[in-house]
Chains A and B, each alone.
Chain A
Amino acid sequence: MQLVPASQFTIEELTAAYNQTRVDYIVPMPMTAQRLRQYVNTYDISLDASAVAIDGDDILGLCMLGIREQRAWITRLGVLPVKRRHGAGQALMEYEIEQAVRYGLSTIYLEVIVGNAPAYALFSRLGFVEERHLLILRRPPGSPPEAPLSPVEATWVEPEETLNYLSSRPWRAAWTNQAESIANAGDVRALHLVELDSGNAGWVTYQQTALQFKRVMLAPSPGSELAPAFSLLHHLHSSGPLLDTIAENVPAEAPHLADFYALGYVESFARIEMLLQLNS
């Protein structure tokens, strides 16, 4: 088995290989080549630092490394089902850790789906420790429930101003939700609300497609301990009642989680975020 940089393959080859490694996954999440290309761009994936495991002309598996400043993110690790349990997964992970050291990085993050025991065991053996649980929430189309709402001052924010809000989050965002991801994704708007009765202020981001609200993230504004989460989500979903919604990597400890559920969100699955500190 050899490990070679992913940059030696086309996006189409990487997509085909990735999809084959995930056919029996708990949550398969296959991709088109276009989506993988967007993924690489949005999440600052270095294809030079990412790796493909090969045996002759056959691809056995792959792993990708995102790099931002001193931080790294391991993602899309996968080995063909018939090639597992021969060390390819561990070899790919060790390669990526070496790459992170070579690049002078200080931390590596990754997420593993809850229930993926073999992957969790591998990451633990390599020194990754649990940081927190992250939830993937879905909301089917539908008008939000009738509810008394506090009077608010609402501002719909254009994409170029959305980034100004992201630095005020009182918790560390998961890689997919960091400011760099939002800047790279483009066309992510926001709604800012101030509840006139309570003074609570906050914002929710969203990216709107023909069928869906994506990149839904919510946080209080600076100086406000609580975000008016119910009002924010109610306003958002009133503006697009026919749209499906996904809120990805919501921290399980987020104070406004109950408001998501009250507005009709359900938990689709959960991830465990893990961290490896590097001595660089």
Chain B
Amino acid sequence: MTTGQIPTILIIEDNPNNARIMRRVLEREQYQILHAEDGESGIQLALTSAPDLILLDLGLPDVDGQTIAGMLKQPNALPDTPVVVVTAWPAETARQMVTAYGCEGYISKPINTREFGAQVTSFLPTSA
């Protein structure tokens, strides 16, 4: 991501309400938002659009979030793109999964709409 470009964030989330809330908060932060509602389309969109950050739900109906993270973090995929898990899993379990799968962090559900924008921003790579 270079200075002056609007960061693009990909949301991979099957729950339309959750996705809508995240999109609304992040668009207020002036981010460009892409959304995939299942794992397979999320993988495709990630690989074709090369977003600056990926917000990843763990509980997707077709391919779960851990499998997606494992795939995206491979050297021939998007190893340097921050992947942030957004999950209702207990904190300790979320932390273990994040560490095991090489993700950059997690944000707990339900999200706090006042804090969510800043939380996501903290995971974005700093400008070059």
A128, CB-defined interface residue at 8 Å: no
Whether the Cβ atoms of A138 and B14 lie closer than 8 Å is no
Top 3 A-B pairs, shortest CB-CB distance = A28-B59, A244-B70, A30-B61
A81 within 8 A of B: no
What would 10 A/B residue contacts be, using CB atoms closer than 8 Å?
A26-B90, A29-B59, A30-B14, A140-B66, A140-B69, A140-B70, A140-B73, A211-B70, A266-B96, A268-B93
Q: In this assembly, does A57 line the interface, its C-beta being within 8 Å of a C-beta of chain B?
A: no
A19 touches B61 (CB 8 A): yes
B62 to chain A, nearest CB (A): 6
CB 8 Å contact bits of A97-131 with B (1 = contact, 0 = none): 00000000000000000010000000000000000
1/0 contact trace for A17-36 toward B, CB 8 Å? Answer: 00100011011111110010
In the complex, A160 has a CB within 8 A of chain B: no
User: Contacts of A31 on B, CB cut-off 8 Å?
Assistant: 61
In the complex, which residues 30-87 of chain A have their Cβ closer than 8 Å to any Cβ of chain B? Answer: 30-32, 35
A19 to B16, CA, bound (A): 12
Interface of B toward A, CB cutoff 8 Å: 14-15, 38, 58-63, 66-67, 69-71, 73-74, 88-90, 93, 96-97, 100-102
Contact with B along A204-219 (1 / 0, CB 8 A): 0000000110000000
Whether the pair A268, B67 counts as a contact (CB closer than 8 A) is no
A35, B66: Cβ atoms under 8 Å?
no
Q: How many residues belonging to A are interface residues under a CB distance threshold of 8 Å?
A: 24
What number of A-B contacts does a CB cutoff of 8 Å give? Answer: 57
Q: A138 touches which one: B71, B89, B100 (CB < 8 A)?
A: B100
How far does the alpha carbon of A211 sit from the alpha carbon of B89 in the complex, in Å?
23
With A24-B88, A26-B89, A30-B60 known to touch, is A141 a contact of B97 (CB < 8 Å)?
A: no
B81 to chain A, nearest CB (A): 16
B63 to chain A: which residues have CB within 8 Å? Answer: 211
Instruction: Kindly list 9 other residue pairs between chains A and B, CB separation below 8 angstroms, not including A140-B100, A141-B74.
Output: A26-B88, A28-B59, A138-B97, A141-B73, A211-B67, A212-B67, A242-B74, A244-B71, A269-B93
CA distance A26 to B93 in the complex (A): 11
Contact with B along A249-264 (1 / 0, CB 8 A): 0000000000000001
Residues in B with CB closer than 8 Å to A94 are: none
Tell me which of B69, B70, B97, B102 contacts A268 (CB under 8 A).
B97
Contact present for A268 and B66 (CB under 8 Å): yes
CA–CA, A127 to B62, complex, Å?
Answer: 35
* A267: Cβ under 8 A from any B Cβ: yes
Q: Give every chain B residue within 8 A of A141 (Cβ-Cβ).
A: 70-71, 73-74
> A24-B88, A26-B90, A140-B70 known; A267 and B96 CB under 8 Å?
yes
Q: Is the CB of A244 within 8 A of B67?
A: yes
Minimum Cβ distance to chain B for residue A141 (Å): 5
For B71, the chain A residues whose CB sits under 8 A away are 141, 211, 244
CB distance from A31 to the nearest CB of B (A): 5
The CA of A123 and the CA of B38, in the complex, are separated in Å by 33
